[in-house]
Chain A
Amino acid sequence: GESVGLHLPTLSVQEGDNSIINCAYSNSASDYFIWYKQESGKGPQFIIDIRSNMDKRQGQRVTVLLNKTVKHLSLQIAATQPGDSAVYFCAEIISSNTGKLIFGQGTTLQVKP
């Protein structure tokens, strides 16, 4: 069935280090994959997306990698800052027309000063 999951529930990194958050998905027919950031008490916020025909996409301090062979998605955050502490969700768009999303369970990123 359709599912998106993350490998680790919690990731702890030192401030200034790079963070890598992983996600495995099962629906190979999805056209887009998206990363969201959710800070405590707030709704999720879009970070970056990637189309299924791409391997890599970069944003400001973030890079998303897509490996379709093993159905794996990762979010890399460069020079992690305390403000990056949050829960990160991967999601896949199962319908481009309607925008319906399937979310993974989330990884909590803790940044140690």
Chain B
Amino acid sequence: DAGITQSPRHKVTETGTPVTLRCHQTENHRYMYWYRQDPGHGLRLIHYSYGVKDTDKGEVSDGYSVSRSKTEDFLLTLESATSSQTSVYFCATRGRFTGSGSYEQYFGPGTRLTVT
């Protein structure tokens, strides 16, 4: 698991409330990613970070913001949660070089978020 923890692991919240998910890594990896996983869609990239205070959007970034004030922490915020944001959220880091020339991404255990 490359030292990735996510908190909380489960959360139920009401529509319209703000929610912050935390990803913490201990490997000092530069790149970090937030994905959501929904049935029929696989995993989709929300935002990613390429360093402290450096972030960029992924393919499904609307309604989400991120922050990275320290190398080890990457926060995902839903400013006003909607039912369509009910999902399982995974954090990942980019780790070691593979034999083919790409980099392996390590995933955290996930956070199951339900918006009622």
Contacts and interface: CB of A to CB of B under 8 A. Distances in A.
Secondary structure at chain B's binding surface: helix, strand, loop or mixed?
A: strand
A51 B103 CA distance: 11
A103 B56 contact: no
Contacts of A41: 109-110
A44 B102 contact: no
B19 to A, nearest CB: 20
Contacts of B110: 41-43
A44 B90 contact: yes
A93 B102 contact: yes
A101 B106 CA distance: 13
Contacts of B105: 46, 99, 101
Contact of B107 (A44, A98, A102): A44
Given A98-B50, A99-B31, A105 B41 contact: yes
Contact of B103 (A99, A102, A106): A99
Given A43-B90, A46-B105, A100 B100 contact: no
Contacts of B50: 98
Contact of A43 (B59, B100, B103, B109): B109
Interface string A66-94: 00000000000000000000000101010
A54 B100 contact: yes
B22 interface: no
Contacts of B43: 44, 89, 91, 101, 103
Contacts of B99: 49, 57
B34 interface: no
Contact of A96 (B33, B92, B102, B106): B102
A100 B57 CA distance: 10
B40 A99 contact: no
Interface string B71-114: 00000000000000000001010100011111111111110000
A-B pairs, top 7 by smallest CB distance, nearest first, are: A43-B107, A103-B42, A32-B102, A103-B43, A46-B104, A51-B100, A105-B42
Interface of B: 1, 4, 31, 33, 35, 40-45, 48, 50, 56, 58-59, 90, 92, 94, 98-110
